[in-house]
Amino acid sequence: MTSNQSQLSTTTVGDSDRIQSETTALRDQILGARRPGEDLEAYRRRSYQALAVAREIVQAEQPVPLDHDRSATDDPIVASYFSNLELIASALNQHE
């Protein structure tokens, strides 16, 4: 098992607090202060948009754990997804 795989398998529920904190901080950074003449409704809409962008960025930076039980699904689409993830991980690990 590589150190990267070990790191992936030790992902905990506590990480969700860290992810939430990073998302909120990034949302605040993207959002910034209220603009001159901006009403609360417009600021709220911008806040939701900034949150959506922040979630995408933070989630994209998270490792994808590949060591959970893939046999627990009967869904062929999910099984295909896991198979593709394993192929990608295998290809990436060959170049390290």
* Gap between the terminal Cα atoms of the chain: 14
What per-residue confidence (pLDDT) applies to 49? 97
pLDDT per position as a tens digit, 28-43 = 999 999 999 999 999 9
Whether residues 57 and 81 share a domain: the answer is no
Identify whether residues 3 and 36 lie together within a single domain. yes
Instruction: List Cβ<8 Å contacts ≥24 apart for 6-11.
Output: 7/63, 8/63, 8/64, 8/65, 8/66, 8/67, 9/65, 9/67, 11/63, 11/65
* The two structure tokens encoding residue 85: 């993830």
One domain, residues 12 and 32 = yes
Instruction: Examine the domain organization and report whether 82 and 42 are in the same domain.
Output: no
Look up residue 37 and give its DSSP letter: T
The parts of the chain modelled with pLDDT lower than 50 are 1-11
Amino acid letter at 50?
A
Same domain assignment for residues 11 and 30:
yes
Q: What is the pLDDT of residue 59?
A: 87
pLDDT at 26: 96
pLDDT in the model for residue 8: 41
The answer to whether residues 8 and 53 belong to one domain is yes
pTM: 0.55
Whether 81 and 37 map to the same domain: the answer is no
Q: How many domains does the chain have?
A: 2
**Domain that residue 60 falls in:** 1-65
